[in-house]
Amino acid sequence: MKKKFNIGVIGLGYVGLPLALKLGKFFNVVGYDTSNIKVKNLKKGIDINKEVKKKEFRLSKKLIFTTDKKLLQKCNVYIITVPTPIFKNKRPDLRLIKNATEAIAKLIAPGDIVIYESTVYPGLTEEYCVPILKKFSKLDYNLDKKNSFFCGYCPERINFGDKKRKIGNINKLISGSNNQILKEIYFIYSKIINARIIKTQSIIVAEAAKIIENIQRDVNIGLINELAMIFDKMKINTQEVLKAASTKWNFLNFKPGLVGGHCIGIDPYYLNYKSKKMGIVPKIILAGRNVNEETVNFIYKKFLSLLQSKKLNTNKSKILALGCTFKENISDIRNSKALELIYKLKKKFQKVDVYDPHAQKFSNFTNFTKIKLKYDAIILLVKHNDFKNIEIKKLKKLTKKNSIIFDLHSLYPKKYIDGTF
């Protein structure tokens, strides 16, 4: 393609940074973020989330990092990758995407393309963002290149903490406001994606596809969590049930557990918000999410019951929690159900220590060998690889004689643990 692309990536977190680094091998890229500390570290080749290796920084020779919006003025493609969280009332918090859109709107020129990668409800790009872009840019949308800007929606599919499924080898959905823009977007992503690139029919189709990817997973895990609660009352081992059921060819082998984070735990509320606007109240979607929200309290009560069985359910009992991030092998604690459970335990017990090698800010110890105290109970909440590598005998050494080990994920042999989910 003859057209020269200068790309601005807005938001340099888990999504934006890997994207900017990949694009910076082929295009002039400005990586923009509002955090001075983050940009300062990135300029040194340091990713505090530990998702990107230093080598990636060295290979991305056409990329610069900045907090100065003026450096984005030479761009003609803008990719917005900011988070889309929710408020406490579970309604979409669009402030970050609104602020990013307003900032870009003041910079865009005729012919420029604005691409969104953030997870949104169907219709948000063209119903919410485009009017903001039009208002502040004084340009038309999707008419002619002399007076218009254009849009695309190309959702991220990064699996944080996954060393195998990286941005370059995950199938990519793309969409554009017209066929020519779709071709240009395809050209850009084709430089960095080695897997399939799927052109969707429209922007709203791509938005809907992205959001249901996460909702489907949330609902499925919600079903398994509910079954685990039922089986617990029946004194049936859920893991053994799943092991047996998974021998059928079409059984979907989801595992029970804590479901939080800024994707799966958030996206159902985005679609719920949009659905209600359309006069439809979701039932299955919210049922799955409600079960997953209730799972924290269920595990908390089960843990207390185990303590009570050994007369340890007093505020003086010493507890060690292993893991506090929202999923394994990452440092992200946003909407972490493990952390939510830890806070509940801290209200009940005087001494609750946390060890998480991926989230040092919330960890009482820098490494496992630093733990010297004897605990009344250990509760394993996140299945980090680091914990898989800890021998159960070493874990047992940290417990008193009359103690319990609650292994949420059944990482350790059954004979050594007192409870699971």
Report, as residue numbers or ranges, the catalytic residues: 263
Spatial separation of the C-alpha atoms in residues 272 and 92, rounded to whole Å: 10
147 contact partners, CB below 8 Å, separation of at least 6: 110, 139, 140
Number of Cβ within a 10 Å radius of residue 160: 20
Sign of CA dihedral 167, 172, 176, 182: positive
What is the residue-wise DSSP string for 166-180?
-GGGS-EEE-BSSHH
Spatial separation of the C-alpha atoms in residues 86 and 83, rounded to whole Å: 10
Name the β-bridge partners of 92.
86
Contact yes or no for 302/232 (Cβ under 8 A): yes
Q: What angle do CA 132, 157, 288 make, to 5 degrees?
A: 90
In 3D, which of 42, 47, 9 has the Cα closest to residue 27? 9
Spatial separation of the C-alpha atoms in residues 80 and 273, rounded to whole Å: 22
In angstroms, how far is CA 340 from the centroid of its own chain? 16
